Amino acid sequence: MKKTIWILCMTVILGTSVLFAGCSNTSDDNTAEKTTAESSSADDNSLADDVEDAADDIADGAEDAVDDIANGFDDYDDAHDYLLNQLGNNKEDGRYVVRNKTEETTEYQDGAEGYHFEVYDTKDDSNKKYGDFYVDKDTGKIYRENTDTKKIEEYKK
């Protein structure tokens, strides 16, 4: 999920760069080109308008991705990626893995439902269980089962 947001942000930045690069052509050597460009029909969309529209669409997509996190998750895969990202997992080290997965939501506290993940730490080849985690389907908050008290508590990094 975080990778998707990053890609969307980078695309917005690239689009904005193209917009400014296209609008900064102020050399006097290009007066003939300017005159030709200015005489084009008012109905024609300029490159700047197209880039602006694309940037708006990308920004809307990034906003939707942020809303997904704030408003919970509708599917297992997004919740899975979000959890591993919050645990500090990345593709380079792949430290944490999920085992015994169930892609259906489960009630982990009275009235609260979310996706359950059994997370194992693979950093030293011991494959020791790191914990049972739940990602709330409505709020996107992460919870972890306390191994001592067996209570479900909000996960704090």
Reported as a single tens digit per residue, the pLDDT across 121-144 is 888 777 899 999 999 999 999 999
Task: Give CA–CA dist 97/129, Å, rounded.
Answer: 10
Per-residue pLDDT tens digits for 1-14? 444 454 544 554 65
Residues 61 and 8 in one domain: yes
- Give Cα separations from 34 to 44, 48, 129 (angstroms): 15, 15, 66
Is pLDDT at 110 greater than 70 in this prediction? yes
Residue 116 lies in a domain: yes
Q: Do 65 and 101 belong together in one domain?
A: no
Give the domain range for residue 36: 2-70
State the total domains in the chain.
2
66 and 120 both lie in a single domain = no
In-domain check, residue 136: yes
| pLDDT for the residue 156 | 86
Q: Is residue 118 part of a domain?
A: yes
pLDDT 10s digits, 11-56: 546 555 544 555 555 445 554 454 444 544 444 556 656 656 655 5
84 within some domain: no
Choosing from 14, 35, 70, the residue where a domain stops is 70
66 and 107 both lie in a single domain: no
Torsion of CA 77, 79, 82, 87, to 10 degrees: -110
